[in-house]
């Protein structure tokens, strides 16, 4: 005979890895009294790398939130307490089986007996306790029957009992990872109605999209809802202090380190991009790069820079301070500086130099959408080699960009303006922009930097060179 009991489980701020020791709670998605299920997103936190969502690793009812939104919490600190329903032996059973009782005692403290469920922040790598999916859970009636048998004793642990909470649907819970569950929630898709095609019956993102055929794209709704930004300074005549933390703090530290470590050199060139702008319009009108693929001047600038790097691969390098060596990189991870409500981030397109123009357009569109949503992962920002910053979108002609730490060069793309220009011996209105290339003079000398900038400009002046120079 068993008696239902409720135990209190605590969820700690996970180990964020990457040398980070704290995170700021941006938003709570649950409140005390709410029912939560295994894998449900309960809050969003921001580290110095990115903003990520935390899934709860068990079922139950929220008892308390230990920190408010905006609080910075150390790793390993309890942030939420959840009341978890379980099963414990009735008093008579404990007397009849005194030998078994001590063995069952550790199982009554699941928070200490479940190292395999130790979480890390989404996007920071695999769990340290293993990556295997837990086996499908059986009904509660089967669990007590297995308790007297030594071999399957772990099945009787309270970790298998929460599926009997009243909030759970009848039958087995659909198998899906937390990001897929959130996608289904955003699209209004009931996971119990989705046909799973993943291994071992796991529901994939494609399965969810297929179930929501009338609305296959999830990004647009989220993009239009940027995260909260610090309130503007009011005209009160008083000084206002704005705390700098998270991504903004990390960016400030990185820029100071870069500016005073790498010897910067910046060169400028004005370019007649009339033909490039005409090509952008043509690609938009014809849809040659694919249905729904975003085409912009930045796409052509990126392709021009990648082609210039292919002609001068020595610019794709980094400086190894420990060994005092130049490291020539095997592939170009092209960074795109993105201004987000939480600060400047630089995600990069992996092995961008190997992509076709169409492939680059798709990856660039995905990178921009993800950054706007605040969903860029630390992996997306690691390993960059060369960056583009598009200051032209703000109406700025040019600037002297600071290198992203660890990279050899950064290209600033200024606003495209109609200016008087000498073309075929006559002064006529042409579309002109200014490019500025900053580079680390330890890695790139003046000749190499000038060649990369000149080739980029030459391609934008005559985009047919993308074919002849490829």
What pLDDT sits at residue 236? 66
What is the C-alpha separation between 82 and 33, in angstroms, rounded? 9
Q: Which of 137, 171, 205 is the last residue of a domain?
A: 171
Q: Could you tell me if 355 and 437 lie in one domain?
A: yes
Residues 6+ apart with CB under 8 A from 401: 266, 337, 387, 389, 391, 410, 411, 412, 436, 438
Token pair of 277, please?
């702008």
pLDDT digits (tens, 9 = 90+) for 103-131: 444 444 444 444 444 444 433 344 444 43
Asked whether residue 233 is domain-assigned, the answer is: no
Q: Which of 115, 150, 171 is the last residue of a domain?
A: 171
What pLDDT sits at residue 24? 86
Classified as helix, coil or strand, 366 is helix
Classified as helix, coil or strand, 134 is coil
What pLDDT sits at residue 375? 83
What pLDDT sits at residue 405? 86
What is the C-alpha separation between 363 and 286, in angstroms, rounded? 20
Q: How many residues does the chain have?
A: 470
Asked whether residue 226 is domain-assigned, the answer is: no
Q: Could you tell me if 347 and 210 lie in one domain?
A: no
Q: Could you tell me if 323 and 183 lie in one domain?
A: no
Token pair of 334, please?
């092209």
What pLDDT sits at residue 213? 60
What pLDDT sits at residue 159? 39
Residues 6+ apart with CB under 8 A from 290: 358, 361, 362
Domain of 202, CATH number, reads 4.10.320.10
Q: Could you tell me if 328 and 193 lie in one domain?
A: no
Smallest CA-to-CA distance from 254 within 147, 363, 381, 115 is with 381
Q: Could you tell me if 380 and 450 lie in one domain?
A: yes
Domain of 377, CATH number, reads 3.30.559.10
Q: Could you tell me if 268 and 397 lie in one domain?
A: yes
Residues tagged active-site: 441
What pLDDT sits at residue 187? 74
Asked whether residue 234 is domain-assigned, the answer is: no
Asked whether residue 42 is domain-assigned, the answer is: yes
Q: How many CA atoms lie within 13 A of 330 on its CB side?
A: 0
* Residue ranges making up the domain that contains 26: 2-171
What is the C-alpha separation between 353 and 413, in angstroms, rounded? 19
Residues of the chain with pLDDT under 70: 1-5, 16-20, 48-49, 86-173, 178, 212-236, 246-248, 250-257, 259-260
Q: Could you tell me if 178 and 79 lie in one domain?
A: no
What is the C-alpha separation between 251 and 247, in angstroms, rounded? 6
Q: What's the number of domains the chain is made of?
A: 3
The count of other CB atoms within 10 Å of the CB of residue 414 is 23
What pLDDT sits at residue 247? 63
Residues 6+ apart with CB under 8 A from 330: none
Residue with the two structure tokens 């239009």: 224
What pLDDT sits at residue 341? 73
Q: Could you tell me if 204 and 263 lie in one domain?
A: no
What pLDDT sits at residue 381? 87
Q: Could you tell me if 140 and 256 lie in one domain?
A: no
Q: Which of 154, 171, 188 is the last residue of a domain?
A: 171
Q: Could you tell me if 117 and 10 lie in one domain?
A: yes
Asked whether residue 224 is domain-assigned, the answer is: no
Q: Could you tell me if 312 and 371 lie in one domain?
A: yes
Taking the C-alpha atoms of 96, 100, 101 and 104 in order, what is their torsion angle to the nearest 10 degrees? -140
pTM of the model: 0.55
What pLDDT sits at residue 48? 66
Domain of 51, CATH number, reads 2.40.50.100
Q: Could you tell me if 133 and 180 lie in one domain?
A: no
Per-residue HEC secondary structure of 395-436 comes to CCCCCCCCCCCCCCEEEEECCCEEEEEEECCEEEEEEEEEEE
Asked whether residue 241 is domain-assigned, the answer is: no
Asked whether residue 10 is domain-assigned, the answer is: yes
Asked whether residue 128 is domain-assigned, the answer is: yes
């Amino acid at each position: 005979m068993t008696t239902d009991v409720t135990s209190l489980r605590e969820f700690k701020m996970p180990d964020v890895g990457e040398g980070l020791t704290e995170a700021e709670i941006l938003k709570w998605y649950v409140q005390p009294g709410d029912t939560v299920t295994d894998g449900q997103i309960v809050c969003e936190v921001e580290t110095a790398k990115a903003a990520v969502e935390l899934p709860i690793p068990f079922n139950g009812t929220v008892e308390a939130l230990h920190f408010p939104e905006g609080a910075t919490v150390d790793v390993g600190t309890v942030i939420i307490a959840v009341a978890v329903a379980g099963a414990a032996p009735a008093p008579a059973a404990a007397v009849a089986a005194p030998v078994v009782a001590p063995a069952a005692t550790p199982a009554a403290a699941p928070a200490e007996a479940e190292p395999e469920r130790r979480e890390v922040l989404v996007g920071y790598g695999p769990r340290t306790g293993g990556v295997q999916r837990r086996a499908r859970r059986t009904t509660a009636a089967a669990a007590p029957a297995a308790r007297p048998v030594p071999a399957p004793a772990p099945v009787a642990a309270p970790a298998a009992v929460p599926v009997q909470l009243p909030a759970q649907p009848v039958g087995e819970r659909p198998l899906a990872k937390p990001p897929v569950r959130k996608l289904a929630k955003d699209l209004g898709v009931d996971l119990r109605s989705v046909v799973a095609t993943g291994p071992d019956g796991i529901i994939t993102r494609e399965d969810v999209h297929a179930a929501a055929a009338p609305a296959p794209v999830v990004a647009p709704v989220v993009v239009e809802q940027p995260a909260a930004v610090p309130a503007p300074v009011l005209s009160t005549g008083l000084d206002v202090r704005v705390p700098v933390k998270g991504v903004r703090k990390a960016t400030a530290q990185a820029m100071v380190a870069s500016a005073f470590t790498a010897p910067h050199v910046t060169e400028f060139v004005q370019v007649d991009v009339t033909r490039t702008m005409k090509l952008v319009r043509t690609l938009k009108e014809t849809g040659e790069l694919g249905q729904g693929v975003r085409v912009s001047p930045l796409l052509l600038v990126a392709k021009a820079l990648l082609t210039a790097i292919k002609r001068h691969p020595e610019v794709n390098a980094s400086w190894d301070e420990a060994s005092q060596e130049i490291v020539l990189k095997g592939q170009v991870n092209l960074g795109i500086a993105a201004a987000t409500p939480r600060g400047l981030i630089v995600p990069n397109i992996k092995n961008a130099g190997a992509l076709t123009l169409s492939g680059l357009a798709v990856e660039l569109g995905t990178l921009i959408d993800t950054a706007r949503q605040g969903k860029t992962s630390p992996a997306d920002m690691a390993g960059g080699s060369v960056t583009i910053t598009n200051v032209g979108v703000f109406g700025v002609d040019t600037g002297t960009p600071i290198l992203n730490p660890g990279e050899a060069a950064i290209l600033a793309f200024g606003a495209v303006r109609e200016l008087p220009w000498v073309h075929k011996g006559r002064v006529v209105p042409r579309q002109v922009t200014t490019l500025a290339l900053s580079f680390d003079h330890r890695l790139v000398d003046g000749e190499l930097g000038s060649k990369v900038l000149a080739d980029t400009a030459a391609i934008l002046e005559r985009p047919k060179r993308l074919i002849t120079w490829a």
